[in-house]
Structure 1
Amino acid sequence: MDDEDAFPPIGDTNASQQRRRSSAAEPADEGAPIDTTIAPNVPWTELAAMSPKGMMTLTGRAKLDEKRRKERASELADQSKLAPRLPPPMPPTWRRPGPRAPSRHLHGAGLGLYGLRQIPLIDRDAERDRVWDTLRSVRDGDGAHVVILRGPTGIGKSRLAEWLVERAVEVGAALAVRAGHGPGGGPLDGLPGLIALNARTLGLKRRELLKRLFEVVRRQGIEDADEALALAELLQPGGDGDDRVRLGNARERHALVLRYLERLAVDRPAVAWLDDVQWGADAIAFARMVLDDLGGRHVPLLVVLSANDEEIAARPIEAEALEELARHSAAVTIRLPNLPDRDHLALVEELLGLEPGFAAQVAIRTAGNPLFAVTLVGDFVMRGALELTRDGFALRRGAKADLPDDLHGVWDERLARVFERTPPGSRRALELGAVLGSAGDDGEWQAACDEAGVDLPLKLIDELLVSRLLVPDEGGLHFAHAMLRESVQRKAAEEGRLAACHLNAARMLEKRYGLGRRGIAARVGRHLALGGALEEALPQLLAAADEAARTLGYPQAHALLGEREALLDKLALAEDDPRRAEGWALKASVLADEGRYDEALMWAGLIEQYEANLRFEHVLPIALRVSALVALRQTRWDEASGRYAIARDAAERAGDRGCVIECLNGIADAEYYQGRLARAGDVLAEAFALCQQGGDEAAMAFCLWNSAYVALWSGNVEQARELLLRQQKLARRAGHRSMIANGRNALGDVERLSGHYDEADKHYEEALKLLQAIGSGKRRVVRANLAVNALSRGRLERARQLVEELLPEVEKSGEAVLGSLCHGVLAASCAHERAWPECDRHFEELLRPRRESGLVDGENAVLAEIVGDHARAQGDDERASVAYQAAAEIWQALGRRDRVASVEKALGTLGTRPVLRRPKR
C-alpha cells in the first residue's frame, strides 16, 4: 500500500496446386480477393468461411493488414467524398419469388447425405410473417424489439429462429449472433457465449484473449482500451493486475453487451438469438433492459428468445420474468402448437421421400412433433433400415418396423449402435460430457474425463459426428439437441452412474477454475446437489446467490436461494438450524436492495429472534444491518444511525470486518444527511482504516469519495479536490468504472462550486460518458449537475432544456432528491422569466425533501440562493427573501457560518440589483 493511500486528516480456399505452391513461397495477402473460379456456384461468403486467412470484418469485407493498407493508401478513394454506403434493401416478404421449387429427394444418392440436409420448415407461414414484420420494424427505425418463441419440446422453436437468422443474413437484411443455455450453466451460456462466438475467442488464454479483443474493438472503431478489458472480464472474469476492468453489476454487463451489438449493427440490423432461456434469467433481464433503457436511442436490434414451456413451468423466476417481458409494447410472443396433421405428413414426406403408407405411419406415431419425426427418420437411415422402391423409400424387407414411443427411445437405440462401434468406456465418457451441458466447450469435457480417469476416444467423437449426434460449430462440439443430452443422463441415472458423474464434474470445475471465479460456485453447487452431496452444496449455492446479487441481478439471486432452500428441506433441517438463517440473511439483504422493505424486515426479523443464541452470531449482524438500511432508506436518520451502531457491535463480536465497514458507512450517511459533517468525517476515517487493513482498494475509494463531499460542504474545497484525486487512483487500480465516474462527477462539483465552470463541464462530460457506457442510473445525477452548472454561469435556456429532458426520467425512477434539484433549476428559470406561480410551485418542490425528511443538502442551499438572486433581479423582494432565508437555514445546519453571512448580506441588499454570477465559494 502506497503511503499516499493513507487516509488524510479529514479454412483453405481449394485453389489449384500451383496457387498453394506459390502461397508457400509468399505470404498470402489477406486483402486479396478470394478466387471463386474453382466453385462458381458456391456463395462468396461460404468460400470466405473456408479460408484460414479469412479474417473478415464485421461488415463482411476482407481485412487488409496494416502494412498493406499503408501501401495502398495512395490508391484508395477519400471515403468522405463518396456517397454513404447503404445496406441492401430488405425484401417486402420472406417468400421467394416464383413458384416453389420441388424438393430433390435422395433417390439414386447415398442415404449418408440425409444428415447433411437442412430440415425443411413446413407451414409456420403466419409465424414467419410475424417475425419478418418485426425485423422490418427494427430495420425501418422503430428501435429494438424482442421476439419470444414458446412451445413444448421438439415443436420447432429453434428451427424457426434458425430460419429467421439464415433468411435475414441470406438477403442482407441483418447480421446475426447466437448463444444457448444449459440447465447447469457453462462458459458459453448466454451473453458471454454471444460475444465469444462472434469475436472468435474460444480457447484463448488471457494474453491472447486481450490481443484478440483489442483488435475486434479497434475494427469496430473503438480506441478505448477499457472496452476491450471489460469484454475480457465478461468472458474470463477475475483478471488480475492493471489489465482488469471490474463489471460491477448486471446493468453494467448488459450495457457492455448492448454496445457490442450496437457496433455490429452499424450497417444493418443485428439479430441476437438466445436459445433455451428457461435456464437464462440473465438473458431475459438483458432483453428487458434493451427495451427499457435505450434512452431514446433507436438501436437496430432484434433479440430472439426461445423457451421450452415444459421446462420453464418448473422455474418460477424465469417464467415470471418472461411473462413480464412479454407485456412490453415492443415484445412479440409467438406460441408454436403441434403441426396440423396435413402439414406434419408433408414434413415427413419432405424429409426423404418416403413411401406414402410408411410416411403416414411415421406421421401418426410422431403426432405433430417435428423433432420426433426428423429424429425417427434419421434413425431409420443410420441403421440402414430403408430401401428405395417405386413409390419412395420404405422399410427394408426383414428390418424391424418397431416405432419407439418417444424421442428418448429413438436416441437410446442410436447411441447403443454407436457404443457397439467404439472402445469400452465410451458410454462413461459421453455421460461425463453430458452432465456438463455442452460437450467439448473450452476443454471441459476432456478435463472431466481426465479427472475421472476415463479415456475420451477419438473414435467416439468421430462416430457421434457421423451419426449427427454431436454437431460442430464455433463453440466446439454440441449435442444435436438438449433432449439428446437428457437421454444420456437418464440412462446413466437408470444404471446408477449419474451421481458419480456430477460429483466428478464438481471436482473438475473447482480444480480447473477455482471457486473464486464468477459463475463457478453456482455450477459446483448444482453438480454437488445432483450428485447427492447436499450439505457440501449448501455453502456453494449461498456464495453463488451472493455473487449473483452483486453481478447478475436480483432474480438470479432469488433463484439460487430457492434451490438452496429446496436442499434444506430435502435434508429435513430444523427451522432453528443456522444454515437456514444464512439464506434468510442474504434474502433480506437482496430484498432491501430491491426496495422491498417490508419483506426484507420480515426475513431479518426471523433472525433477530435468535439474538441471544450464539449459533446465530455470524448472521445476526447482517439482519441488524438490513433493519438499519431500511430505516436509512426511509429517511429515519437517527433511528438508522442507532441501528447501525448496534449492528456494528454485533459484527465486531462476530469478527465480520466487511459488515463493520458497511455499518460505519451507513452511520456516516445518516450523519451526513442531517448535516453533521464533522461526525460523518470521523466515521468515514475509521471505515477507511479498516478498508486499508484489508487491502480493499474499491472500498477505500468509496470512503474517499464520501469524505470528499464532507470536506466540500464543510468549505474545505482544496482538501476535497485532494481526496478525489487519490480516490481516482484507487478506483482505477481496482478497475471500478462506476467509482471512477462518481469521482469525476464529484470533481465537477468541486470545480463548479469554485466558479470554474468550464473545468466542471469537462469533468461532468467525462463522468457522463463513462456512466452511459456502463449503463448506470447515476448518469441522471450528472445530467442534473450539468444543468446546475449551466444555471450557475447564467445560461438559463440551456439549463432549462437539460432539466426538461431529464425530469420525466427522474420522476419515473422515483429519485425524489434528484427531482428536487431539477425543480430548483426550473424555479430559477421561472423567476428570471417572472413566471411567479410556476416559480412558487418549483421552489416548493425544491424544499420538499428538507421539509418532509429533514434532509440537509448543500445543493438545495446553492439553488435557493440562485432563485433568490433572480427574484431580486426581477424586483420581487418578497420571493427573494423567502429563497435567501431557506438557503441560510440550510447553511446554518451545515455549520457554514461563512455562507450564512454571505446570504445575510444579500438579504440586507434587497431593493438593489444583484450580480447574478455569484462569487466563488
Structure 2
Amino acid sequence: MSRALDERLASLSGWHKDEIASLRSVLAPTSAPQGTAILASERYAALGRLLKQLSSHRPVVVVLDDVHWGRDALAFLHFILSRVADFAGRLLFVATAREEALWERPMERDALQELGKLGLVRILDLEPLDEETHRNLVSELAPLDPALARQVAVRTCGNPLFAIQLLGDWVERSLLSLDGEYARLSEGVNTPIPSSMASFWEERVDRVLQNRPAQDRQALEMASLAGYEVDLSLWEKACRRGGLEPCYGLLESLFDRRLALASRDGSRWSFVHGMLRETIANRAYKEGRAERQHRAWAQALGEVEASSEILAPHLLAAGVVEEAIPLFRGAVDGRLKEGDFCRAESLLAQWERAFATSEDRHPEWTIRKARCDCGLGRYDAAKVGAQRVRVDGEGQLRAEAILVLAQVERFQGRPDAALALLAEVESLLSDGQADSLLWECKLDSARILLNQPGGLAQAVAHAESALALAPGPEERARSILYRGEVDRQAGDFPSAKGRFLQALEGFESCGARLGVALCHNVLGEIARYEQRLQEAEEHYVQARRMLVMLGSDHRLQPEVNLGLVLLEQHRFREARPLLRSALGSFELRKILPMEAAMHICLLPCAADAGDWEAWDHHAQRAGDLLERTGVVDIDNARNAQLGGEVALAKGCRDAAMVAFELALQQWRALGKAEEVAALEKTLASVPAVIAS
C-alpha cells in the first residue's frame, strides 16, 4: 500500500514530503512514519488539496457514511467548507447519519448542526421509500415471486440498504432458485426475513459462529471494541489477556463471507460495515461482557505502551475511571498545546462519558471544552463554559477560566475588558504557583498592549516577564517572538530581526512547526519595512506554505502580507482581490482588529481604481472599528498614509484628508513623533482645492 501510494503521489506535482506524510496517515495509517505528530488540521489540509487536484480532471463525489460515529469526518467537512477559497473545486460531499444514533452522541449532533449553518450545506431528512417505490426497487433487484417480493418490501420498511443487503445475502448463500420467470426461495429453505438491519447483521454473525467454539463470539466482540480497524497483534494480546485464544479460522470465515476486510499487508482488518461492528459490540454490552473485555484491551495496550488517547477510552469503559481521567487530561492538554482543537474535542467527547449527566461535568473538563470552543471560534459557547468554571471552580481552575474569558474578549476586539480580566488572573496566582498559566497571562497581556495607544512600555514589561516564566523551550521561543513583536511595533527593526531569528532557532530545535512558520512571517515583515521586497516575499511564501500544510488559520497572515508587498510596489489591482478575500475571512471569524486593518489596506486600492463608493465604505468601517477596538499598528499607519497619497494623486483632496487623519491617529498613538511631523508637513502643503 505504501509503495502504491508513493507511486500515485509521485505523479502529482508540487507536493512537499510533509504533505505526503499527512496523506499517508489518512490513506495508509499502518505505513505512516513514526516521529512528529501529525495534526488533524494537517490531514484535512492535505486531503482537501488532493481532492481539489483530482477534481480538476473531473467532478469528485466524496461519500462519508455514518458520520454519527465520525467526529473526525465532521471536523474534516467543517474544515473544508469553511475554507472554500482554498479548496474550491468540482467537489460534492455527501454525508449520512442516523437520527436515532445522533441522540446518543451529542457532540456529533452539535457538529452536524454547526455544518448546517454554513451556506453551502443542505441537510435533507430522508424518509423511507413509499410503498410503491420500494416494491419497484425490490423487483428491480431480483425477479422475485410477487408474494415473496411483497414480504421483502414489507419487512425492509422502505429501507433500500436493508433490501439490497438481504437479497445480496440470499444470492450469496444460493437460497434462491428460478421457477419460470420468477425467483423463489429454494425448496426446503425456511429462512425468516429479519425484522430490522440489526437483526439481519445478528443473523449473519450467528451463521458464521454456528458450530464454532463458544470463545469465538467473545473474540469477535473483543475486536468490535477496538474501533474501526483492528490491529491483529494487539487483538491477539487482548484476547489472551481476556483468557481467549483467537482462532484464525474465524477470520477466514469473516473474509469468505465478506463480513470483514484485511489490509494489504495483513497486519490489520476491519468489519465491512459500521453497523455490523455496532451490532456485535451491543451484544457484548447487553450481556455484560464488555467491561471485562475493555479491561483486557487496556492491559494489552499497556504492555505496548500505547498512547493515552488510545488507552484512556478502554480504561473508562472498563470502569477504571480514576486511572482514565488523568490520561484524558494529559491527552487533551497535549492537543490543546498543539492547537489541534478538533482532536482535543473528540477526546473530550469520550471523557464526557465519565459523567452521569451534563450537570456532573467536572470543572477540569468544562474549562478544556471552553478552550476548544475559543480555539474554534465558538466564542459564545466558550464564555458560557468559562463563566461556569469561574463561578464553580477554585484556585488555578478559576484563574484559567478568567484567562479564557480574557482571550474571548481579545479575539472579539475588546482590549480593555481583556486587560482587566488578565489583571484579575494575576491577582489570583501567587508567586511560583501555576507558572505556565501566569506565563500565558503575561504573554496575552503583551499581545494586547502591543496594539494599544501608549502601551509599548507595558508590553515590554509583560513580554520580559513571560520570557522569565516560560515553562519550556517552545514557550521560551514564543516569548522571544512576542518580545520581538514589541520591537517591531516600536520601529526598532534590527533588534526585532535578531529576536525573530533567535525564536526561529528555538522553534526549530523543539520541532514546533507552527512557531517556525510564524517566524518566517515576521521576518518577512522586517524585510518589507526595509524595502527588501523580494526577500519579504520569499519569507511570506515559506510561511504560507507551512501554515497551509498545517491547516492553520494563521495562514491568513502571510496572505495579507503578500498583499502588502503588492501595495508597496503600487500593484493595487493585483492586491485588491487578495485583500478582499482576507477581509471576508476576518469578517466571518469576527476578528475586528484585522477587519479594520483590511479596510485600511483597501483604501489605496479603491483610490487607484477611482472607486470612491468603495473608498467611503472602507474609510467609514476602518474608522468605526479602530474607535471600537482602540487598536494601533505600524502597518495601519503606513497603509492609511499610502491611501491618502494615492487619493491625492488621483485629485480627491477630501478622501486624501480622511486617510491622512487615520494615519496621524495611528502614528500619534504609536508615539512616532518623527512620522507625525513629516505627515503634518505634507498636510500643510496640500492645496485647499485640487482640480479634478
- More RCO (CA 8 Å, sep 6+): 1
Indicate whether 1:479 and 2:260 are aligned: no
Pick from 413, 416, 419 the counterpart of residue 641 of structure 1: 419
Residues 86-165 of structure 1 mapped to structure 2, 5 A cutoff = none
**1:287 corresponds to 2:77:** yes
| One-letter identity of the residue aligned with 1:624 | I
Q: Is the 8 A contact 1:217 1:227 kept in 2?
A: no
Q: Please give the TM-score of this superposition, normalised by the length of structure 1.
A: 0.64
How many angstroms does 1:673 deviate by? 1.9
Match of 1:750 in 2: 526
Counterpart residue type for residue 386 of structure 2 = A
Q: CA deviation at 1:368?
A: 4.4
Q: Does structure 1 conserve the Cα–Cα contact (< 8 Å) formed by 2:72 and 2:346?
A: no
Partner of 1:488: 280
Partner of 1:497: 289
Equivalents in 2 of 1:718, 1:481: separation in Å?
61
Contact 1:761 1:786 in 2 (8 A): yes
Mapping for residues 478-877 of structure 1, pairs under 5 Å: 478-512=270-304, 514-516=306-308, 519-520=309-310, 524-543=311-330, 561=348, 564-565=351-352, 567-569=354-356, 580-597=362-379, 599-609=381-391, 616-648=394-426, 650-651=428-429, 655-674=433-452, 675-691=454-470, 693-695=471-473, 697=474, 699-800=475-576, 802-804=578-580, 806-828=582-604, 842-870=618-646
Separation in 1 of the partners of 2:416 and 2:463? 17
In structure 1, how many angstroms separate the alpha carbons of the residues matched to 2:8 and 2:445? 46
Q: CA deviation at 1:277?
A: 0.7
Cα distance in 1 for partners of 2:615, 2:128 equals 63
Relative to structure 1, is the Cα distance of residues 437 and 367 closer, same or farther in structure 2, using a 3 angstrom cutoff?
Answer: same
Secondary structure in 2 aligned to 1:681? Answer: helix
What secondary structure is seen at the aligned counterpart in 2 of 1:673? coil
- Contact 1:439 1:445 (8 Å CA) reproduced: no
When normalised by structure 2's length, the TM-score is 0.83
Equivalent pair of 1:652/1:660 in contact (CA under 8 Å) = no
Match of 2:253 among 446, 455, 463: 463
Are the structure 2 counterparts of residues 240 and 683 from structure 1 closer, same or farther at C-alpha, using a change threshold of 3 Å? Answer: farther
Residue type of the alignment partner of 2:19: E
**Counterpart Cα distance in 2 of 1:724 and 1:238:** 37
Deviation at 1:441, TM superposition (A): 4.4
Distance 2:148 2:662 in 1: 89
- The Cα shift of 1:708 comes to 2.2
Indicate the SS of the match to 2:96.
Answer: strand
Give the secondary structure class of the aligned counterpart of 1:496.
Answer: coil
Task: Kindly report which structure 2 residues correspond to 1:201-350, keeping only aligned pairs within 5 A, or say none.
Answer: 201=2, 215-231=7-23, 244=36, 247=39, 250-295=40-85, 298-323=88-113, 325=115, 330-331=120-121, 336-339=126-129
Report deviation, 1:865: 3.2
Separation (CA, whole Å) in 1 of partners of 2:651 and 2:207: 96
Paired letter, 2:75 = A
Distance 2:407 2:176 in 1: 71
Give distance in 2, aligned partners of 1:379 and 1:845: 65
User: Does the 8 Å contact 1:856/1:894 carry over to 2?
Assistant: yes
Task: Tell me, yes or no, if the aligned pair for 2:493 and 2:526 is still in contact at 8 Å.
Answer: yes
Q: Which has the higher helix share?
A: 2
Q: 1:488: Cα distance to partner?
A: 2.6
Is the alpha carbon distance of 1:719 and 1:426 closer, same or farther for their aligned partners in structure 2, counting shifts above 3 Å?
A: same
Rounded Cα–Cα distance in structure 2 between residues aligned with 1:251 and 1:760: 26
Structure 2 residue runs of 5 or longer lacking an equivalent are: none
Equivalents in 1 of 2:575, 2:88: separation in Å?
A: 25
Opposite residue 300 of structure 1, the aligned amino acid is: R
Report the Cα offset of residue 544 of structure 1.
5.5
Number of equivalent positions: 683
Question: 2:435 and 2:468 mapped to 1: Cα distance?
Answer: 11
Distance in 1 between the 2:369 and 2:56 partners? 42
Match of 1:446 in 2: 236
C-alpha spacing 1:458/1:776, structure 2 compared with 1 (3 Å) = closer
How far off is 1:794 after superposition? 3.8
| Pair 719,515 (structure 1): closer, same or farther in 2 beyond 3 Å | same
Contact 2:25 2:32 in 1 (8 A): yes
String of CA shifts for 1:573-628, please: whole Å, max 9, x gaps. 9x6xxx722123223333444555555444334333457xxxx3341221121233
* 8 A Cα contact 2:60 2:91, kept in partner: yes
Q: Are residues 511 and 882 of structure 1, via their aligned partners in 2, closer, same or farther at CA, if it must alter by over 3 Å?
A: same
Query: CA shift at 1:259, angstroms?
Result: 1.0
Query: Which stretch shows the higher mean deviation, 407-416 or 492-501?
Result: 407-416
Q: Deviations over 1:448-507 (max 9, x none)?
A: 224434221122222333344334466953334434333333443444322211222233
Offset at residue 358 of structure 1 (A): 5.3
Aligned residue type for 1:820 = A
Q: Is the 8 A contact 1:502 1:528 kept in 2?
A: yes
In the TM superposition, what is the alpha-carbon distance from 1:435 to its structure 2 partner? 1.6
Structure 1 position 433, deviation (Å): 0.8
Distance 1:765 1:379 in 2: 55
Residues 66 and 274 in structure 2, CA contact (< 8 A), matched pair in contact too: no
Deviates more, 1:740-749 or 1:355-364: 355-364
Name the structure 2 match of 1:77. Answer: none
Aligned 1:375-394 pairs, distance under 5 A: 393-394=184-185
Classify the secondary structure of the residue corresponding to 1:762.
Answer: helix
Q: Which has the larger radius of gyration?
A: 1
- CA separation of 1:626 and 1:509: change in aligned 2, threshold 3 A: same
Judge conservation of contact 1:449–1:456 (CA < 8 Å) in 2: yes
What whole-Å deviation, never above 9, does each CA across 1:521-556 have from its counterpart, x for those lacking one?
xxx444334333344444445555556667797677
Contact 1:864–1:883 at 8 Å: present in 2 too? Answer: yes
Q: Note the C-alpha offset of 1:258.
A: 0.5
Residue identity matched to 1:583: W
Change (3 A) 1:356 1:547: farther
SS of structure 2 residue aligned to 1:422: coil
TM-superposed CA distance for 1:754, in Å, is 1.2
Once residues 499 and 367 of structure 2 are traced to their aligned partners in structure 1, the CA distance between those partners, rounded to angstroms, is 34
CA deviation map 1:126-184 (0-9, x unaligned): xxxxxxxxxxxxxxxxxxxxxxxxxxxxxxxxxxxxxxxxxxxxxxxxxxxxxxxxxxx
* Alpha carbons of structure 1 residues 389 and 582: separation in structure 2 relative to 1, 3 Å: same
Shift of residue 843, structure 1, vs aligned partner: 4.0
Distance 2:354 2:37 in 1: 35
- Measure how far apart 1:633 and its partner are: 3.5
Structure 1 distance, partners of 2:320, 2:288, is: 15
Q: Which amino acid aligns with 1:457?
A: C
Quote the sequence identity (%): 30
SS in 1 for 2:364: helix
Q: 1:182-193 alignment to 2 at 5 Å?
A: none
- CA positional deviation for 1:680: 1.7
Is the 2:641–2:660 Cα contact (8 Å) retained in structure 1? Answer: yes
Q: Tell me the distance in 1 between the aligned counterparts of 2:419 and 2:614.
A: 38
Give the match's secondary structure for 1:569: coil
Q: Which amino acid aligns with 2:447?
A: D
1:663 CA displacement = 0.8
Q: Give the superposed CA RMSD.
A: 4.3
Q: Give SS of 2:44's match.
A: helix
Question: How far, CA to CA, are the matches of 1:662 and 1:628 in structure 2?
Answer: 11
Deviation at 1:832, TM superposition (A): 6.5
